[in-house]
């Protein structure tokens, strides 16, 4: 099953093996709380040859970007992704992100993750749940596992997309995981407003996912051009 996927991924990088081995167990390993340091959000530039044109700026030197995007008709939160143009290689963070099961809910309701980043599905309450995850475009199932009390399951998404998260034991439970290969993604507020703290100046495609609606917008971010209006209301 997907446990094997995780193990394969784990072998790709030294240091992941321990975590993968632990998280396929039914009880979370206490030592997993201390993961490796956070990787920079932007891939390192080569040191042997200078980049011909605009190289990514180091993290911490970017711009604060704010804006508004359309809200969804179904009440789900809008997600805004900034894809660099032209596309640049992006190393996914090694630190995991987590979707919890608590109070008969998935938390957060929308989780952002990168392709190749560890994603943890944890059960924090005294109730047996399961987690069934499928791509909303292809309807293809990513995995379907039970999450015993206190248990954590680790998954690496291979493909960017929006995934629905369901618990078949409690049909009222639902959430989404938005998986990207982009360095910047944000979940908007209920009114469609969003913010990014540290964006390198340059050209991007802003991809807006508002419920089932997806739109793409060509934008340029530069000093003095950091306010985005991405269509609709
Ligand atoms: Cu459940």
Note whether 168 and 205 are same-domain residues.
Answer: no
CA of 19 to the centre of ligand 1 (A): 24
Note whether 22 and 120 are same-domain residues.
Answer: yes
Q: Would you say residue 56 lies in a domain?
A: no
Q: Would you say residue 51 lies in a domain?
A: no
CA of 148 to the centre of ligand 1 (A): 10
Q: Would you say residue 219 lies in a domain?
A: yes
CA of 151 to the centre of ligand 1 (A): 13
**Is 70 exceeded by the pLDDT of residue 37?**
no
How much is the average pLDDT of 122-140? 96
Count up the domains in the chain and report the number: 2
Note whether 169 and 194 are same-domain residues.
Answer: no
CA of 26 to the centre of ligand 1 (A): 16
In this predicted model, what pLDDT tens digit does every residue of 143-194 receive, in sequence order? 999 999 999 999 999 999 999 999 999 999 999 999 999 999 999 999 999 9
CA of 226 to the centre of ligand 1 (A): 41
Note whether 161 and 102 are same-domain residues.
Answer: yes
The mean pLDDT value of the chain amounts to 80
Q: Would you say residue 79 lies in a domain?
A: yes
CA of 7 to the centre of ligand 1 (A): 26
Start-to-end CA span in the chain (Å): 43
Note whether 67 and 24 are same-domain residues.
Answer: no
Note whether 119 and 82 are same-domain residues.
Answer: no
CA of 61 to the centre of ligand 1 (A): 42
CA of 131 to the centre of ligand 1 (A): 8
How much is the average pLDDT of 192-211? 95
Domain assignment of residue 67, given as a range: 63-88+183-229
**Is 70 exceeded by the pLDDT of residue 53?**
no
Note whether 80 and 95 are same-domain residues.
Answer: no
- Strands ordered across the beta sheet of 118-123: 105-107, 97-102, 118-123, 152-156
CA of 179 to the centre of ligand 1 (A): 22
At 211, the pLDDT band (50, 70, 90 cuts) reads confident
CATH number at residue 222: 2.60.40.10
How much is the average pLDDT of 39-46? 34
pLDDT, position 225: 85
Note whether 9 and 75 are same-domain residues.
Answer: no
Residues with CB under 5 A from ligand 1 (ion): 129, 167, 169-170
Note whether 119 and 205 are same-domain residues.
Answer: no
DSSP character string of 101-143: EETTEEESSEEEEETTSEEEEEE-SSS-EEEEEEETTT--EEE
Mark 98-127 as b/e (b = at least 16 C-beta within 10 Å). bbbbeeebbebebbbbbbbbbbbbbbbeee
**Is 70 exceeded by the pLDDT of residue 6?**
no
CA of 157 to the centre of ligand 1 (A): 22
At 232, the pLDDT band (50, 70, 90 cuts) reads low
């Amino acid at each position: 099953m997907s446990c094997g996927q995780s193990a394969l991924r784990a072998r790709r990088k030294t240091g992941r093996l321990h975590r993968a081995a632990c998280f396929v167990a039914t009880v979370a390993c206490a030592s997993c709380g201390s993961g490796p340091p956070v990787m920079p959000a932007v891939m390192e530039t080569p040191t042997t040859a200078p980049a011909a044109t605009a190289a990514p700026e180091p993290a911490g030197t970017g711009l604060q970007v704010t804006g508004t995007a359309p809200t969804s008709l179904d009440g789900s939160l809008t997600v805004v992704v900034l894809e660099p143009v032209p596309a640049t290689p992006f190393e996914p963070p090694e630190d995991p992100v987590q979707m919890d099961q608590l109070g008969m809910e998935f938390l957060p309701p929308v989780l952002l993750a990168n392709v190749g980043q560890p994603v943890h599905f944890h059960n924090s309450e005294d109730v047996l749940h399961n987690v069934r995850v499928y791509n909303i475009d292809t309807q293809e199932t990513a995995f379907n596992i039970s999450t015993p009390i206190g248990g954590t399951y680790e998954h690496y998404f291979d493909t960017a997309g929006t995934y629905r998260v369901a618990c078949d034991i409690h049909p009222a439970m639902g959430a989404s995981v938005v998986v990207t290969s982009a360095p910047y993604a944000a979940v908007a507020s209920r009114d469609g407003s969003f913010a990014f703290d540290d964006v390198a100046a340059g050209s991007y495609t802003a991809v807006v996912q508002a419920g089932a609606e997806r739109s793409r917008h060509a934008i340029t971010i530069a000093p003095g051009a950091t306010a985005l209006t991405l269509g609709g209301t």
